[in-house]
Amino acid sequence: MSTAREQPIFSTRAHVFQIDPATKRNWIPAGKHALTVSYFYDATRNVYRIISIGGAKAIINSTVTPNMTFTKTSQKFGQWADSRANTVYGLGFASEQHLTQFAEKFQEVKEAARLAREKSQDGGELTSPALGLTAHQVPPSPLVSANGPGDEKLFRSQSADVPGPAERERLKKMLSEGSVGEVQWEAEFFALQDSNNKLAGALREANAAAAQWRQQLEAQRAEAERLRQRVAELEAQAAAEPPSVSEKEGPGQSLEQLEALVQTKDQEIQTLKSQTGGPREAVDTTEREETQQKVQDLETRNAELEHQLRATERSLEEARAERERARAEVGRAAQLLDVRLFELSELREGLARLAEGTP
């Protein structure tokens, strides 16, 4: 089995397509997900093949020949035609780099196939296209099947000479089945290796995320402590707020007195005006001037009292607004603290689940 075993030389992942045999224009996807596409080298037959396994069947089984050409049709898509399979294969890659690597490997394999053909022609050896064996090569006897060590079967030729047609067909079928089984094993191996790499990457990302979450947890703890201190300060300020407001309400309590004083002064003004409006003959000029001066003084005093009244009202409104702002800020701080505490609890649960899920 070791002489007939195909060795993988390059593998990648891509979305596999085949040309629609009816229209020869539309692409038919081989599956919903990307598949492993590999180059294999058969040392026995000295041929190179591109193989992709989907489920239990071979999606691509294309033997590379010197006449093949791999064409890049876009930054992430390439195609080649296989005349033996009478179809055109297309591959969609995740990045332009993967497409370039596959195309370069295609050129290398194509050149190697050309050199192998020239060497075979120069050597003058007759090669059997069915078995890939030269005329002077005789299949070893006994020949072990490629079905695995648990299902080993011994096959012996019916004569010591070159096998007959029936024996050749049987050997051909046996080698083909063994090759497909090996390809499936190799594909499963690469799939498991890819899955292992993904799991290792996910574990590294999880560890990095856990470290980042720990840092965020420490930062949120510090922020929560700062918010607690701020809430305590605001509560202390809110507790100390009512006495200061009552002190500010002291001038507010004197509003009634100021209004009464204004009314009294208005009455005095009206009285003085009525007195000045009497017979001019009975009022002395000096008293009239004094009365007018008093009226002006009273009006000035009245304006001052009104100004004080408005200032007191403004200070009272400002005190009330400040108290409402303080209450609103305390409420927002309390809500923010609740949100932070809820996030901390969720973060703890997430870390606990991550710790349980990490092997």
Query: Residues 2-36: pLDDT tens digits?
Result: 334 678 899 999 999 999 988 888 899 988 889 99
Q: CA 248 → CA 238, 241, 244, 319, 326, distances in Å?
A: 15, 11, 6, 8, 16
Query: Residues 276-311: pLDDT tens digits?
Result: 655 555 556 787 788 888 888 888 988 888 888 888
Sign of CA dihedral 287, 289, 293, 295: positive
Whether the predicted pLDDT of 157 surpasses 80: no
- Ramachandran region of residue 124, left (φ > 0), alpha (ψ -120 to 50) or beta? left
Q: Residue 182: how many CB atoms within 10 A of its CB?
A: 21
DSSP calls for 117-167: HHHHHHHT--B-TTT--BTT----SSEE-SS-GGG--EE--SSSSS--HHH
Q: Residue 227: how many CB atoms within 10 A of its CB?
A: 18
DSSP calls for 15-83: EEEEE-TTTSSSEEES-SS-EEEEEEEETTTTEEEEEEEETTEEEEEEE--TT---EE-SSSEEEEEET
Quick one: tokens of 9?
Answer: 């030389």
Find, among 161, 156, 152, the residue nearest to 140 by Cα. Answer: 156
Are the C-beta atoms of residues 266 and 302 closer than 8 Å to each other?
Answer: yes
pLDDT at 89: 95
Whether the predicted pLDDT of 252 surpasses 90: no
pLDDT at 166: 66
- 150 pLDDT tier (thresholds 50, 70, 90): very low
- 119 pLDDT tier (thresholds 50, 70, 90): confident
Sign of CA dihedral 48, 53, 57, 58: negative
- 172 pLDDT tier (thresholds 50, 70, 90): low
Are the C-beta atoms of residues 301 and 205 closer than 8 Å to each other?
Answer: no
d(CA 112, CA 105): 10
Whether the predicted pLDDT of 163 surpasses 70: no
CA dihedral 198, 50, 106, 74 (to 10 degrees): -70
Quick one: tokens of 119?
Answer: 């060497």
Strand partners, 282: none
Quick one: tokens of 17?
Answer: 């397509």
Half-sphere exposure of 285 (CA within 13 A, CB side): 0
DSSP calls for 227-262: HHHHHHHHHHHHHHHHHHHHHHHHHHHTHHHHHHHH
- 241 pLDDT tier (thresholds 50, 70, 90): low
Whether the predicted pLDDT of 238 surpasses 70: yes
